[in-house]
Structure 1
């Protein structure tokens, strides 16, 4: 049986106004359902079968939305901010007004960010118990110690005493004579400023950071910083099945 919802809830979730505003729209005859004016905002409708129009525009309904964003520097991973532009604000053609970023990237960090309103999926990807791989590319200043890979693999003690989970470090280019090193790091948690703090323990500093992947979702390299696209059905299914697999592992 299809899930029915109130007309005012339908329009509210699609960002068309508050409940009182939608009630006034209905009173003025601005809302149509299946081609007929609808004065009762409390009416139950089936989003899969009823067509809703506001001021002559069809308002399509989406229960969940999923976007992959190549986050640029200078934008904050938040739904709203009084000082900076937000990652959610970059999704210009979103239908829903309850989208949020799954996890956070620092304001000066670039790369993959999932934007959605699917709370269950976000929990599966962010829960420390799930150990979802997050892969980063970084340029690092300072000489990496010879045992950097081993220390990352064992887990590091951060400056506040926090012990990180084992991480995999791949040195792509070992900087010589003061040149920057380029690395790829895979972590399975997301503590505050974690990647930067891990390299500080090694006596280095991260000068550029970009997230390449999260679980099964990989950054679309055709997306320039600030650009985004909806996830494909295949990408959504892979993310959800990854969460289920982790859940089964936890039970086992």
Structure 2
């Protein structure tokens, strides 16, 4: 790998910016100052330093984000704040992308990574990776609603949803509201809102709390992110 690409990949600036670092004799490879930006580096074996500080090469990055409402699941947008705008300058990378999407007004678990293979595994319809959501509903949900969801219901536009699981956690008879959890194995456009609407109710609040076997960290503040642990990475690889 070219030395300038190595440094850019590790977040030390654009190709143009890291070329200046190299030209100004601030970068060393195997304890020897290197001024050629095209110099080929073995990222697994060579010892690279910037201003004397060692740079440990990392190819893939994995983050858990607790997405807030009002932020869109995109990498860039001219009008709306995106999930990548939440990242600090130190952690931001051009190749980071969200795994799947959450609606603008939906909160909760979102994985951000530059590992395209992992994204494909988690999103592939053939893998049937579960996504669990917590929702507050305007209306009283019943066992009959749960049965319709479990059978694979048809929603507007004639689309048929895969069988899903609806769990009724709490019913507020006085305010005619219900707290539920929904477990899906797909992700149609606005699917949960459309399913609930078909059942004659309305979603007031929606939060994703699980993807596969990985649960949202309850200690992670809304609008915050952190790197995934090795244990969490193992959970992501399970169904």
TM over 0.5: yes
Q: Tell me whether 166-175 or 13-22 shows the greater mean CA deviation.
A: 13-22
Quote the Cα distance in structure 2 between the aligned partners of 1:134 and 1:208.
Answer: 16
1:153 to 150, 156, 180: 150
* Structure 1 equivalent of residue 177 of structure 2: 180
TM-score, with length taken from structure 1: 0.86
Gaps of 5+ in 1: 244-252
For the pair 1:87 / 2:62, whether they are aligned, the reply is no
The DSSP-based 3-state class of the residue aligned with 2:162 is coil
1:95 CA displacement: 6.5
Change in CA separation of 1:214 and 1:104 when aligned onto 2, cut-off 3 Å? same
For the pair 1:69 / 2:65, whether they are aligned, the reply is yes
Q: Judge conservation of contact 2:29–2:49 (CA < 8 Å) in 1.
A: yes
* Structure 2 equivalent of residue 110 of structure 1: 107
Q: How many aligned positions are there?
A: 238
Quote the Cα distance in structure 1 between the aligned partners of 2:131 and 2:180.
Answer: 14
1:59 CA displacement: 4.1
1:176 CA displacement: 1.9
Gaps of 5+ in 2: none
The DSSP-based 3-state class of the residue aligned with 1:189 is coil
Change in CA separation of 1:64 and 1:95 when aligned onto 2, cut-off 3 Å? farther
RMSD: 2.0
1:161 CA displacement: 1.2
Q: Tell me whether 114-123 or 22-31 shows the greater mean CA deviation.
A: 22-31
Quote the Cα distance in structure 2 between the aligned partners of 1:98 and 1:54.
Answer: 22
Quote the Cα distance in structure 2 between the aligned partners of 1:126 and 1:146.
Answer: 29
TM-score, with length taken from structure 2: 0.90
State the Cα deviation string for residues 15-64 of structure 1 (Å, max 9, x = none). Answer: 33443443344333343323432111121212233343445655442101
* Structure 2 equivalent of residue 23 of structure 1: 19
Give runs of aligned pairs for residues 88-237 of structure 1, distance below 5 A: 88-92=84-88, 93-94=90-91, 96-144=93-141, 146-237=143-234
Q: Judge conservation of contact 2:141–2:168 (CA < 8 Å) in 1.
A: no
